[in-house]
Every structure is written in C-alpha cells, then in structure tokens.
Amino acid sequence: MVIMAADRQAVALGLGPGMKLADARARVPDLLTFDHDSLADANLLSRLAEACERYTPMVAVEPPDALILDISGAAHFHASEEALAQDAEDRLDAVGHGISWALAGTPDAALALARHGLKEGAEAQLPVAALAMDDKIHQALERAGLYRIGDLAERPRANLAARFGMQLTVRLDRILGLEDRPIDPLRRIGNIVTERRFAEPLTHIDAALACLSELFAEAAERLNERGQGARMIRMLLFRCDGDIARLGLETGAPTRDAALFQRLLRERIAALNDALNPGFGYDLIRLSIAAAEPLAPQQLRLAGGEDRQGDEVALVSQLSTRLGRERVQKFVAADSHIPEQGLLALPALNAPAPVAWQMQRCGEPPVRPLHMFDPPQRVQVIAEVPDGPPHRFTWRRKTHQVIRYEGPERIASEWWQRKDGQQPGNGGLTRDYYRVEDARGRRYWLFRHGLYGEEKANPDWYVHGLFA
Amino acid sequence: MNNSDSHSAGVSELSPANIPAVPKTASPKAAALKARLGRILAASGVKSADRDDGPSHFTLGVDRIDAALRGNAGIDGLPCAALHEMHAADKSDRTSAAALALLLAQRCRALQPAHGPILWVSDNGEARRQGRLYPPGLAELGVEPSSLVHVDAPNSIAALRAAADGVRSPAMGAVIIELSGKKPRGLDLTATRRLSLSAQKSGVLCLLLRTGSDAENPLPTAAFSRWQVGPAPSVALAGNAPGYPAFDISLLRHRSGLYGLSARLEWNRDDQVFREQQEQDTPQSGTGPVLAAVRTDHPGTRAA
C-alpha cells in the first residue's frame, strides 16, 4: 500500500505521496489513514473547476490534481493577471484548499511551473521530471548530465528525438512555449455571453430573475443583429460563498421572445428539485446562448391575428421545461417492418420536420392496433390445428372466444441484424399475426411466435395490441 | 387569415350600409345586456360571433344523432369550444374510448382552417399496463400521427395542468386528457370547470378520457356532455374477418338535458365520418342498437 495524498501536518513530519504505508507507519505509529477514493477526488476537482468559471469560461480539468484556466482577455475585472490568480488562491484558501499556481503562455508550461512551485519565466530552471515522461528517461537524462529544462533547451532537437523519442521534444517545446496545445474546456462556451457583477450581492430570487431577464434581453439584441434565435440558454448564478446554481433552458424553435423566456424560466425554477437558495447572495450572474439557430425577423400580421406556429412551439417548450424533454413527444416513422420498431417517439423539442405518414384510401378496416403492448403479453391459446388461427385464448385470467379472425400476416425477423442470420435456423423466430374479435366486440392483435414444427416445437402466443 | 381578407373586411365595415344608425356609446345598458347574453350563450354551448375560425359545432356525421344533440343551442352536433367526457364502459374498453375521443378530435379539427395538432396528455401509470399509443394504428384510423403531441405526465395533477395549458393555447386543434382510476387526484369540479372555461375562451375542444371510472357514481364535473363508450361487434367482412371499428356509445349527460341517446357507430376511415351500423348478426352481444327516445328539459339530469 502506498500513500496517495498527505495533509499539511503529515508533510511536516516528512511523509508524502509515493511513500510506502509500512514505512510511514514505522515513522509515525499512530498515523490515521483512509482508503483512496479517486472518484471523490475527481468530483471535487470538477466542482472546483466549475467554481473557477467565475474567472473565465475556459476552464479545463487536468487530472489528477490540476486545473487550467485560459484567462486571455479575462483579467479586466482585476488589476492584473496576478491579481486574478491571487483572488482565486484567496477564495480557495477560504474553503480550505491550498493551491500553487503559475501563469504562463501555454498550458503545459503553467502546469509544469505550478507543480514545481516556480513562477513565470523560470521554465529553464525546471527539473527534467517536469517533462512528465517515463522515469527511465528522466534517469537517462540525468545520467547524461542534463538536470534542467534549460540544459535541454540548448540541445539540437534532432539528437534528443533520436535518443529519447519525438514525445520528449514535443513536451519540451510545449513547456518552453514554442508550441501551444488547445485545452478541452468543461463546457463549450456559447457564442453570446452576457453577465452582471454586483458589488453588493443579490439576496433575493426576484432580483436575480429580473437580472436574468435583462441579460436575456441584451443577448436577444445581439442575436437579432446576427439574425439568430436562441435554442439553448445556460445560466450560472455564482454565490459569493462559492456555490453555483446552474439553470438550462431549451426551446422548441429559435426565439428572441423575452416574454417566452420569462415564462420558461419560471417553469424551470418551479421544476427544480432543490429550490434556488440565494444564501449570502449572488455576486455574479451569467447567461450564455449555448445554441442558436437562424431566425428571420418576423413581421406582425396586419389583422393582429395570433401566431399559431409560434403558440404551438411555445406550448411545447413550456411543457418540456416543466416535465422534462423526454415526456413531451412527437411520433416519427422509423425504417423497420418489425411492428414495435417501426416508430420513434422523439422529444417534441427537437423532432425533425413532420413527414407524411403513409395513408391511402383502401376501404379496409385498420390492420394495425391503436394501443400496443411493448413487450407483448403472453396469452394461452387453444387452436384447432397447431399452425392454424386461434380458437379461444386466455389473457389476464379471462377467457375470450374468437368469433372472427383474419390472418395470418406473416412478419419475419430481421435476420440481417443477427450473427450468422443467413444460416437456416439462426435468423430469429417468425411471427404470424392474427386480427381477432371476441364475443363482446373487442379486437385484438395476436401472434404466434415461431413457425410450428419448423422453428419451434410448441410456439408461444402473445397479444401485441388492441384495435379500436 | 391573409392580408387581402382582412383588407376587404375593413372596407365592408366602412361601407355606408354598415354604419349603425345609433352611436354605439349611446346605451351602456345595451352593452351590458349584450355581454350578459354572450355569457349565457357561451355557457350553453353557442360560440360568440366575434370569432370566425371555423364553425362552432362539430358533427359525428350521423344525422339522427347530430339532430338529437341539437339541444338548447339549436345547432347540430357538439360544441367545439367545450369539455366533453368519454368514459370507458369497462376497464378493458380503454382502447374503444381512446379511439372515439381521437376520432371526435379529428372530426373537430378537420373543420378548423389551421388544422392544429392534437395534444394527448396521459398520466403515467396506465400507459405502461394497458398499452401505449401506436402511431401506425393512428394512421390506420385516418389521423396523421405527426399531428399528435404526446405528453406523458408523471401524475394526474401534472396531466391536468399540462392539459389546461394546452386548452388555453389557441394553436391546438384539440386536447385529449386521459386519466385512469376511480378518483384521479386533482380531478374535481374546479379542475374541470377550469378546463371548460379555457375551452370556451380559446375555442379548443377538450376531451376527458376516463378509464376505470365508477359508472354508477361518476365524479361531478363541469363537462358539457358525458358519454359512455364500449366496443361493439363489427360487421364481418368476407371470410369472417373483423370489420370496421365499431363502438357502442350512450349519452349519460348533456348540458341541454338530453339523455337516453345511444347508438352503435362504425368509423369510416376513408371518408372520415361515423355511420350507424347497418346489420346485426351477433346474438351473443345482447343489446342491439337502441333507437332512443330523446327528451329535452328533463330537470333531473341538469345537475352534474
């Protein structure tokens, strides 16, 4: 067992990560130890990353213990970049996290400097271990008399690459700031971000909501300039004690309508599991448009008639916001002849444009049921001949006499979906569907699962749907 | 309505023939009386004349029944801007009741110029056990499945709330709310009156579909009419195949005091119309089509 992390007191006693537990116990017999919970560590790190979004929207997590903040052009609320970093250190210190930070031109340089406790411009003094390569390579470098990054920087890259691999030269260039690397931020930033900072934190929800409405109006103006409307809106409310409330909204169609936004926002807040709690107040509120789509400026009708399309979208958006997007559905035909796979129930918020369903005049009664059981329900059937139509069936402990029937409609399985489905016997069971009517006039859709004698010795029967 | 329409309407309003002889502001009492009359007419199912998107009533397409439903309003059929209740005759007759509600909604929205979508709200539990709506089956009944917005509400209160929002929105063609059980939570006189008033205001048809309700002692509601729906044996096609969808419907309550109306209907998908079943050859079913005597102004049936 090895120590993964140690607190300040333990470090003062000379213990540290990487030390064997037995050695540590030998030095400090009454050592308190806990099992390492990497998941909790990762959670904590991502929570800290979210908290750091107050400084810049570009925050990336660098496991296991680092965060990278891209603060290019984000330091204007602070006196300098150093002041911003100092502010972050103070805030994290207040909640019990000691950090070491560094500023640099590239993420790798900043990481290496921060991990080795150096400040900007000291890249050359970093030990070769800062390259974060294999231990053997670090040893080989040291054996060759190259102890610092500065020693490597002067060497011709070709020789280093030939001896230690390309990877080393790439990392070296990144630390020296010769090559940049894109970071992978927690969240894709919206292309429109509006925010308000408050010297005196807002302690009332109503004030915060009014602020969000104002922010949306600002964003809507900018959307209008671009001829776009918002589809997805993200809101962040930063509490001054570090807690963050996150709200997201989605609309069924691009919108710039402030009234609709307010209605959806109220729905969203009413649907929250734990209500918004301003605590000591919000000191920063940010609203970003995470997804936007083209929306041409609309002309109001001369007669003052209502906008039906818009009303429908507004209703769908409102219901989806209140109940969750999966609960408001539109039906779309899918490309499959298996009855239960022939449709998709997609969220109505982003369902594709309606495609006309196949409906032709035929003078026949419906051959597909109005209600379907998925999965089908087992029934006990008595048939006159084993591969014939049902004569009587028992479903939910009630026996139904079949008065009329039509069938079978044979629906084969999708053998091409199965491994070796083209081989005889591997393609899955065929279904024989019957439309039957019982004495009371109820109409059922029954099927026999498997061809009698060929695919199955004693096929089961199921009820798959109910007709009107 | 397009621009040219509104323009011509404006011109006709200004034409000399339409200028009222007496200034409108002359009699506030007349205005008050007119408003009161409007309220009374609205309550009895007659739509106010200031909305002109489609007719105020929809019919089933069966002359006998449509004429019998004339009631106090004096117009054939059922009012669009109202709440109607469909009760499944038995727990296992949910599909029949659902189909009838769907088809009535389809008949109603076919009259509207905009063909708004149908909002179908169901509470969660029943759909799992009794089967869920199957879009190809909707298409087979003649209702375009893409014109349906399905809301799978977590409970009956959320379902009623979603339906109320739907009824308020004039964009909807019809709203169907499906609630199961003897006494769904939240379904009471207040909730149904809210639906009914919203329907009157917006002109959207609202259908309350009830399964597992207590037929002897139904919950009091503010619905305009209440129907009981069950399946009926179909007229067999060639080869003894089950025929067109058939329903036994009976009117339990109507705001004009009609009662005792019952019929056996068949749905013709191609013409989108109901018709009365012609022949009857299944002795097991017991009750044939009852040609009912319709009485109006029966005092006992007015109470909800």
**Which value does ipTM take for this structure?**
0.77
Distance from C-alpha of A287 to C-alpha of A233, rounded to nearest angstrom: 7
Query: Which among A232, A223, A236, A234 has a CA at the least distance from the CA of A197?
Result: A236
**Cβ-based contacts of A399 with chain B (< 8 Å):** none
Determine, for residues B154 and A327 on separate chains, whether the beta-carbon distance falls below 8 Å.
yes
Minimum mean pLDDT among A256-260, A356-360, A430-434: which range?
Answer: A356-360
Interacting residues of A33 by C-beta distance below 8 A, sequence separation 6+: A3, A21
Determine, for residues B244 and A322 on separate chains, whether the beta-carbon distance falls below 8 Å.
no
Question: What is the enclosing helix (H) or strand (E) of B162?
Answer: helix B156-168
**Cβ-based contacts of B9 with chain A (< 8 Å):** 303
Minimum mean pLDDT among A169-183, A324-338, B47-61: which range?
Answer: B47-61
pLDDT score for B44: 63
Edge-first strand order for the sheet with A282-294 is: A192-202, A282-294, A228-239, A244-255
User: What percent of chain B shows pLDDT beyond 70?
Assistant: 77
pLDDT score for A449: 92
Q: Which of A266, A370, A391 to mutate to test the interface with B (most CBs of B within 10 A)?
A: A370
pLDDT score for B126: 63
Could you tell me how many CB contacts below 8 A there are between chain A and chain B?
Answer: 225
Min Cα distance B134 → chain A (Å) is 5
Neighbours of B147 (CB within 10 A): 18
**Cβ-based contacts of B240 with chain A (< 8 Å):** 404-405
Out of B138, B169, B237, the one facing A370 most closely (by C-beta) is B138
Determine, for residues B134 and A329 on separate chains, whether the beta-carbon distance falls below 8 Å.
no
Determine, for residues A333 and B135 on separate chains, whether the beta-carbon distance falls below 8 Å.
yes
Inform me whether the pLDDT recorded for A364 exceeds 90.
no
Strand partners, A62: A66
User: What percent of chain A shows pLDDT beyond 70?
Assistant: 96
Q: What is the largest CA-CA distance in chain A?
A: 97
pLDDT score for B286: 40
pLDDT digits (tens, 9 = 90+) for A239-294: 888 888 889 888 888 888 888 899 899 888 888 888 888 888 898 999 999 888 88
Structure tokens at B128: 């799992």
Min Cα distance A407 → chain B (Å) is 8
Q: Which of A315, A367, A379 to mutate to test the interface with B (most CBs of B within 10 A)?
A: A315
Q: Which residue of B has its CA nearest to A303?
A: B6
Min Cα distance B303 → chain A (Å) is 32
Out of A355, A370, A435, the one facing B99 most closely (by C-beta) is A370
pLDDT digits (tens, 9 = 90+) for B213-249: 887 788 889 999 999 999 999 999 888 999 999 999 9
pTM: 0.71
Choice between A397 and B282, residue whose per-residue pLDDT is larger: A397
Minimum mean pLDDT among A448-457, B8-17, B31-40: which range?
Answer: B8-17
Out of B114, B146, B242, the one facing A357 most closely (by C-beta) is B146
Inform me whether the pLDDT recorded for A464 exceeds 90.
yes
Q: Does B5 touch chain A (CB under 8 A)?
A: yes
User: What percent of chain B shows pLDDT beyond 90?
Assistant: 40
pLDDT score for A307: 62
pLDDT score for A144: 84
